[in-house]
């Protein structure tokens, strides 16, 4: 399992807020991404900064340490505070800290800014949940689609008329979460199914621009789902990308006979994933 620890430096995050942040980071132990606060043991390395914009002294200290003459930060920055700043250059989350909101922000930074995407290379990118902790304010889900869509919006960018919608079908929760995060960060709308039967129910009631489909699943496998999609005149145009842990010629031939458009072999490499998305999603 690929793991990396990211060192987070803070400015103006003190008292209870800092204590809660430490407790939130404790949750990440064992995840693909682990976060720790900067201290004397890791003083030489800062991956991400968190700045409390409600405190002018914190802004000045951060600016003198991490901004160059053109105002560009030396590392990705997350702004926090009571009120959202007018400057849209940086990501922002309000205080008090919400555990999953902070972790989603930081995870997005590691993917977009630091290019850390091990989820697309492994199948066990487990999603951790916080144990009950009275000092940590928690959301109800780890990946809220609404929140993910809001955090990837860029300042001044006009929204597209319609987001393309992708259906991800896999009985593995980590794989579903990994593809959900990556595709959402690429500005696609994502729906998830954990079985072939659930996928067929969703396909009956909804329209999709592409389907990522696992081959081996309990009950109805990916080949059968693909056959049913391609036999339906109203849906046969949908590109079907099959996900398989195998790479033998027989599997590929069987997939082609079922009508799939292409294959991705797990563990999925980042560059290969980007190439397939570019080829089948505009």
What is the per-residue pLDDT for 100?
79
Residue 258, pLDDT score: 80
What is the pLDDT, as a whole number, of residue 126?
Answer: 36
Nearest to 111 by CA among 182, 47, 180: 182
pLDDT at residue 198, as a whole number: 95
pLDDT in tens, 21-50: 998 888 888 777 889 998 766 556 889 999
Kindly tell me if the per-residue pLDDT of 265 is higher than 70. yes
Instruction: Give the pLDDT band (50/70/90) at residue 121.
Output: low
Domain boundary pick from 98, 117, 151: 151
What pLDDT, on a 0 to 100 scale, did the predictor assign at position 123?
A: 44
Last residue of a domain, one of 98, 124, 151: 151
User: Are residues 144 and 33 located together in one domain of the fold?
Assistant: yes
Which of 93, 117, 151 is the C-terminal boundary of a domain?
151
Q: What average pLDDT does the segment 179-205 reach?
A: 89
- Which stretch, 25-29, 47-51, 148-152, 265-269, has highest mean pLDDT? 47-51
**pLDDT-based confidence at residue 266 (cuts at 50, 70, 90):** confident
C-alpha neighbours within 13 Å on the C-beta side of residue 97 = 29
What is the pLDDT at residue 48? 93
Q: Within a domain: residue 160?
A: no
Instruction: Check whether residue 217 and residue 97 sit in a common domain.
Output: no
Residues 229 and 118 in one domain: no
Give the pLDDT band of residue 9 (cuts 50, 70, 90): very high
Scan for tokens 């160059």, then name that residue: 68
Could you list the residue range(s) of the whole structural domain that residue 202 is in?
A: 165-280
CA distances to 10, 97, 191, 213 from 93, rounded to whole Å, are 14, 8, 25, 34
Domain count, the chain: 2
Least confident of 4-18, 115-129, 143-157, 172-186: 143-157
pLDDT tens readout for residues 122-139: 343 333 334 444 544 443
| Out of 44-58, 111-125, 223-237, least confident range | 111-125
144 and 235 co-located in one domain: no
- CATH number at 135 reads 3.40.50
Tell me what pLDDT residue 127 has.
37
Q: Please give the pLDDT value at position 253.
A: 66
Is residue 18 located within the same domain as residue 147?
A: yes
CATH number of the CATH domain containing 270:
3.40.50.2300
Query: pLDDT tens digits for 202-230?
Result: 999 899 999 999 988 999 999 999 999 99
What does the pLDDT read at residue 194?
Answer: 92
**Mean pLDDT taken over the chain:** 79
Asked if the peptide bond before residue 179 counts as cis, ω within 30 degrees of 0, the response is no
Q: Specify whether 12 is located in the same domain as 59.
A: yes
């Amino acid at each position: 399992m690929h793991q990396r620890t990211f060192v987070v430096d803070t400015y103006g995050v003190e008292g209870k807020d800092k204590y809660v942040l430490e407790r939130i980071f404790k949750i990440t132990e064992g995840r693909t991404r682990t976060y720790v606060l900067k201290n004397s043991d890791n003083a030489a390395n800062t991956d991400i900064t968190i700045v409390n914009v409600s405190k002018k002294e914190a802004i000045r200290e951060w600016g003198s340490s991490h901004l160059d003459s053109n105002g560009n930060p030396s590392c990705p920055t997350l702004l926090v505070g009571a009120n959202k700043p007018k400057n849209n250059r940086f990501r922002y989350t309000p205080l008090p800290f919400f555990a999953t909101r902070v972790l989603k922000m930081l995870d997005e930074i590691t993917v977009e800014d630091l290019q850390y995407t091990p989820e697309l290379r492994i199948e066990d990118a487990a999603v951790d949940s916080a144990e009950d902790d009275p000092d940590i304010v928690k959301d109800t889900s780890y990946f809220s689609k609404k929140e993910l869509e809001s955090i990837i919006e860029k300042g001044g960018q006009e929204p597209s008329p319609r987001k393309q919608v992708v259906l991800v079908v896999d009985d593995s929760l980590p794989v579903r979460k990994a593809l959900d995060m990556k595709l959402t960060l690429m500005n696609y709308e994502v729906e998830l199914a954990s079985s072939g039967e659930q996928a067929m129910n969703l396909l009956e009631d909804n329209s999709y621009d592409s389907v990522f489909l696992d081959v081996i699943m309990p009950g109805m496998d990916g080949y059968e789902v693909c056959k049913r999609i391609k036999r339906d005149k109203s849906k046969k145009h949908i590109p079907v990308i099959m996900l398989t842990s195998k790479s033998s010629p027989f599997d590929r031939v069987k997939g082609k006979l079922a009508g799939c458009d292409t294959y991705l072999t797990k563990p999925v490499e980042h560059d290969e994933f980007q190439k397939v998305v570019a080829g089948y999603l505009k």
